[in-house]
A = this chain, B = another copy of it.
Amino acid sequence: MDAARRANGGDSQFVLTIVGDNAVAELIRHDPDLENADIGAELPWSIARSKTKEFFSEFLSTFILLCFGEGTVAQNVLSGSGDTINIGFGWGIGVMMGIYVGGKSGAHMNPAVTLACCIFRGFKWKKLPIYVLAQVLGAMSATAVVYLNYKTAIDIHEGGPDIRTIPGISKTGTAGIYSTYAQPFLSSGQQFFSEFLATALLIFCLFALLDHRNLGINRQLLPLGMFFVIFGIAVAFGWETGFAINPARDFGPRAVASMLGYSVDIWTVHHNYAWVPIIAPLIGGSFGALMYDIFIYTGESPINTPWFGLRKPKQTGWSSSQV
């Protein structure tokens, strides 16, 4: 997600930002007269787009993620075929394509990623609310589109256009298309641990992939690497709570489901599970980042400052370039 640096400031134009096998090419690409010069940059729409590009980049990358992901769950539920492998491919490809789409904002697509970057990678805190808003709205929009696409099939599956039910409560429940629902036997603690662990693994692996002091993955292979991280979480930790691992991916669609006629139980079922995929990924993701920085990372991080970031470090020395 080195593209973030390009997006974040023109002052990086002549810096060799990319490690890995893109280094040579990057010198060429950074020629502002050739590649980076926006076409028609003086036009009103181009100016407006330039000012909102991070918002739309997050919005659209999350939109693409949710289209592929929710579409896959919908197809599995409604067609009565398909299994965890389909789910792994659907969400994995969603993340992969989301990264390609969202290069101009770093393609976080997930408040847990944005938060971990704010705490551990010097990502600007003032961007956090904009990113989260774009992510939630992108997830909500995709939910509406997937719902429109599968509306008739949902009507038939549920038994009528006015029937909208929840899996675990109803055998024909379709609410699981949009958001995650926990296995009924799980305590709140087990729900929390499952989402905490899966998100910690997500961010730990993401930070490893991005760490060019470690093996490091090059920018061209990062989307494929994240595909495998998501797939791995789906087959290893997807069954208990549906691996939300992303507050925006879960909350946004649940809010839309409320508007679409699903009962208020979607918020309260299974010991108010709806709040777990909001809180647990935020804490778990940052915990995973903390573990990575404590035991492996030797780059710029609050961990690698005299007071482990508990006293205010000099912000000047940081950059968001690693993410």
Contact = CB atoms under 8 A, between A and B. Distances in A.
Interface of A: 1, 3, 16, 19-25, 28-29, 35-36, 38-41, 43, 45-46, 49-50, 53, 56-57, 60, 64, 67-72, 74-75, 78-79, 81-86, 88-90, 93-94, 96-97, 99-104, 107, 145, 148-153, 156, 183, 185-187, 190, 193-194, 197, 201, 204-205, 208-209, 212-221, 223-225, 227-229, 231-232, 235-240, 294-296, 298-301, 303-306, 308
Contacts of A78: 239
Contacts of A21: 21-22, 24-25, 220
Copies in the complex: 4
Contacts of A303: 45
B45 A97 contact: no
A39 B239 CA distance: 40
28 contacts: A16-B28, A20-B22, A38-B304, A39-B299, A40-B306, A43-B304, A49-B294, A49-B295, A57-B296, A64-B205, A67-B236, A68-B201, A68-B236, A75-B238, A85-B85, A85-B89, A89-B232, A93-B229, A101-B204, A103-B215, A107-B215, A149-B193, A149-B197, A153-B183, A153-B186, A215-B223, A220-B221, A223-B225
Given A97-B205, A208-B97, A296-B57, A306 B43 contact: yes
Contacts of A79: 239
A236 B149 CA distance: 11
B232 A93 contact: yes
B81 A237 contact: no
Contact of A86 (B72, B85, B204, B308): B85
Given A75-B237, A100-B208, A215-B223, 13 more contacts: A35-B213, A39-B304, A43-B305, A67-B201, A69-B236, A75-B84, A75-B236, A85-B86, A97-B229, A101-B208, A103-B214, A107-B215, A221-B221
A323 to B, nearest CB: 13
A183 B231 CA distance: 28
